[in-house]
Copies of this chain bind each other. A is one copy, B any other.
C-alpha cells in the first residue's frame, strides 16, 4: 500500500464494555453472530470493517489510561493500516492537526502496533497495524477465517 494519508475510513469500532458476558448476551439477542471471541474481546464482521466489544479494563490498558479516564473514549473509531510507517505518518498528521496524543504508536501486547489520539472533543481514534488482519486493496477490512 502507498503511504497516502489519511484515507477517510473507519475499519474498526470498539465499544468498551463493563461486563463482557452481559454485552455478548445482548448482541447475541440482537441477532448478531461473533466472528471470534477471546477472554477479553468479541469481534463482529461488518461490511468492510469490524466491531469489537472490549473489556473496559483491557481497553484502558491498551490506551495507557484508567477506566475512569475513558469517558467518551469508551468507544473508539479506528483506522487500520498496512504497516507501522503508515501508522506513524497518520499519527503525525493528527498531531499537526491539533490532536491530543493519548498513546504514541508502539508495539502492543496483542501483537500489533497502534497509537491513540483524541480529536478536539475527546473522541478517541485508534491507528493500528494488525498483522493478523490483512486489509483489502481498497483499505477495507474483512476478518480472516479463524484458523
A residues contacting B by CB (< 8 A) are 5-6, 8-10, 13, 15-19, 22-23, 25-27, 29-33, 44-49, 51, 56, 71-72, 74-75, 77, 93-94, 96-99, 119-121, 123, 138-140
A30: contacting residue among B6, B25, B30, B71, CB under 8 A: B6
Residue of B nearest to A99 (CB): B26
> B30 to A121, Cβ gap below 8 A?
no
**A139 nearest CB across to chain B (Å):** 7
Known: A32-B6, A46-B8, A93-B31. A22 touches B74 (CB 8 A): no
Residue among A13, A47, A96 with the highest chain B CB neighbour number at 10 A: A47
Q: Contact at B23–A77, with CB atoms within 8 Å? A: no
* 10 more A-B residue pairs beyond the given contacts A27-B119, A51-B77, with a C-beta to C-beta distance below 8 A: A8-B45, A10-B46, A23-B119, A26-B98, A29-B93, A29-B96, A30-B94, A49-B49, A56-B121, A71-B71
Q: Give Cα distance in the complex from A71 to B68, angstroms.
A: 12
Bound CA span A30–B49, Å: 21
Closest to A23 in B: B120
CA distance A51 to B94 in the complex (A): 17
Please name 10 pairs of A and B residues whose Cβ atoms are closer than 8 Å in the assembled complex, sorted by A: A8-B33, A15-B77, A15-B121, A17-B121, A27-B119, A29-B97, A30-B94, A51-B77, A72-B75, A75-B123
